[in-house]
């Protein structure tokens, strides 16, 4: 019995070691490569998006959207105030769509910045009730916008009694995509547009990576839990590569950074960031530079894979 218990302990220890070792495989991020800080000085950076001008746009949640130009390594304000923007994404026409959150200066809506700089309100309520605090969003090839609507901060009175994932159709109709996540945060679609990934990130509840099958009409199937962070800080933002791997920002301290999951939810690589990671997006001429918002800064690192999103530069 003693030998059996010893063997069992060694087996468990070996499994844990293998899992820990798998967080530094070199499969996605070249071994020895570290993240490079390209800008700092924000209040809280979030929601990066890669534009057709080869620039990286990101939210500084203090209430502005910034624009980083890799060619000149310069960063300027793109929009100020931003309505407390968080998640950003470009539609197929290259227009920037923003999830504007709650708190001081927050507009609690989904907007689009037109080519002439005009701000178009796409949606700000569901059935006449103001959104809680749009957090993150993703756009599919049918111009449907999926966005998460939790409430983490902001003392504005809530009008909705749920924190859901919403879908805005190409005609502007707002519907509930799912209520199965109590506090949804990051969101991204698989390259084949068959799966929607959502970060369920409840400080007092689930911290999980979950997925939903997407029907032709855009509706979602049942929730499938792919990974559970337990008591650790869960996922904030996400992006995907061409193979369908999910790049997710999560964790604190030595555990904060980008976790790379395969489509089945297994961690296949990890890179640590000096500040608490919040979101990420691929960019670069070869689509292999991962830009990461973390703390008050913007970072980047080269990857051994090509990223995917709807609107790539020509």
Using DSSP, how many helices (H) and how many strands (E) does the chain show? 1, 27
* Cα distance between residue 74 and residue 298, in whole Å: 12
Note down pLDDT in tens along the chain; length 314 residues.
333 333 333 333 333 323 343 345 789 999 888 999 999 999 999 999 999 999 999 999 999 999 999 999 999 999 999 999 999 999 999 999 999 999 999 999 999 999 999 999 999 999 999 999 999 999 999 999 999 999 999 999 999 999 999 999 999 999 999 999 999 999 999 999 999 999 999 999 999 999 999 999 999 999 999 999 999 999 999 999 999 999 999 999 999 999 999 999 999 999 999 999 999 999 999 999 999 999 999 999 999 999 999 888 87
For residue 66, give the 3-state DSSP assignment: strand
Q: Is the distance from CB of 144 to CB of 190 less than 8 angstroms? A: no
Q: Which residues contact 239 (CB under 8 A, 6 or more apart)?
A: 188, 246, 247, 280, 281, 282, 290, 307, 308, 309
pLDDT of 162 reads 97
Q: Is the distance from CB of 283 to CB of 70 less than 8 angstroms? A: yes
40-73 pLDDT per residue, tens: 999 999 999 999 999 999 999 999 999 999 999 9
1-24 pLDDT per residue, tens: 333 333 333 333 333 323 343 345
Cis peptide before 291 (omega within 30 of 0): no
* Cα distance between residue 57 and residue 47, in whole Å: 8
DSSP 215: P
Q: Kindly state the tokens that stand for 96.
A: 């920037």
Backbone angles phi, psi at 9, to 5 degrees: -60, -45
Q: In degrees to the nearest 10, what's the CA dihedral of 168, 184, 56, 250?
A: -160
* Cα distance between residue 112 and residue 8, in whole Å: 57
* Cα distance between residue 31 and residue 24, in whole Å: 8
Q: Which residues contact 156 (CB under 8 A, 6 or more apart)?
A: 102, 103, 106, 108
DSSP 28: S
Task: List Cα–Cα distances, 232 to 31, 39, 45, 254, in angstroms.
Answer: 25, 27, 21, 12
281-313 pLDDT per residue, tens: 999 999 999 999 999 999 999 999 999 998 888
Question: Residue 31, class by beta-carbon neighbours within 10 Å (0-12 exposed, 13-18 middle, 19+ buried)?
Answer: exposed
pLDDT of 126 reads 98
Q: Kindly state the tokens that stand for 265.
A: 């939810």
Q: Kindly state the tokens that stand for 197.
A: 């990934």
Question: Which domains does the chain carry?
Answer: 22-308 (2.120.10.30)
pLDDT of 314 reads 78
Q: Is the distance from CB of 145 to CB of 97 less than 8 angstroms? A: yes
DSSP H helices in 143-256 = none
């Amino acid at each position: 019995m003693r030998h059996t218990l010893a063997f069992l302990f060694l087996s468990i220890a070996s499994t844990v070691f293998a899992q820990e070792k798998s967080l530094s495989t070199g499969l996605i991020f070249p071994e020895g490569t570290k993240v490079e800080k390209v800008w700092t000085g924000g209040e809280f950076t979030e929601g990066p998006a890669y534009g057709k001008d080869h620039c990286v746009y990101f939210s500084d949640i203090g209430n502005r959207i910034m624009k980083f130009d890799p060619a000149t390594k310069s960063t300027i304000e793109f929009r100020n105030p931003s309505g407390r923007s968080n998640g950003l994404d470009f539609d197929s026409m290259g227009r920037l769509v923003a999830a504007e959150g709650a708190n001081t200066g927050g507009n609690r809506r989904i907007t689009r910045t037109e080519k002439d700089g005009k701000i178009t309100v796409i949606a700000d309520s569901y059935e006449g009730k103001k959104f809680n605090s749009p957090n993150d969003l993703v756009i599919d090839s049918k111009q449907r916008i999926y966005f998460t609507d939790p409430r983490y901060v902001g003392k504005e009175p809530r009008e909705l009694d749920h924190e859901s994932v919403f879908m805005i159709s190409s005609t502007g109709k707002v519907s509930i995509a799912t209520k199965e996540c109590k506090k949804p945060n990051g969101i991204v679609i698989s390259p084949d547009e068959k799966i929607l990934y959502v970060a369920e990130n409840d400080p007092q509840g689930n911290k999980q990576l979950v997925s939903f099958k997407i029907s032709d009409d855009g509706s979602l199937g049942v929730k499938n839990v792919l990974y559970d962070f337990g008591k650790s800080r869960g996922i904030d933002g996400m992006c995907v590569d061409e193979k369908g791997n999910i790049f997710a920002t999560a964790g604190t301290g030595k555990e904060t950074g980008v976790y790379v999951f395969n489509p089945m939810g297994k961690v296949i690589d990890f890179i640590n960031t000096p500040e608490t990671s919040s979101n990420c997006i691929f960019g670069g001429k070869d689509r292999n530079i991962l830009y990461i918002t973390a703390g008050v800064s913007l970072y980047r690192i080269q990857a051994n894979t090509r990223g995917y999103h709807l609107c790539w530069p020509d």
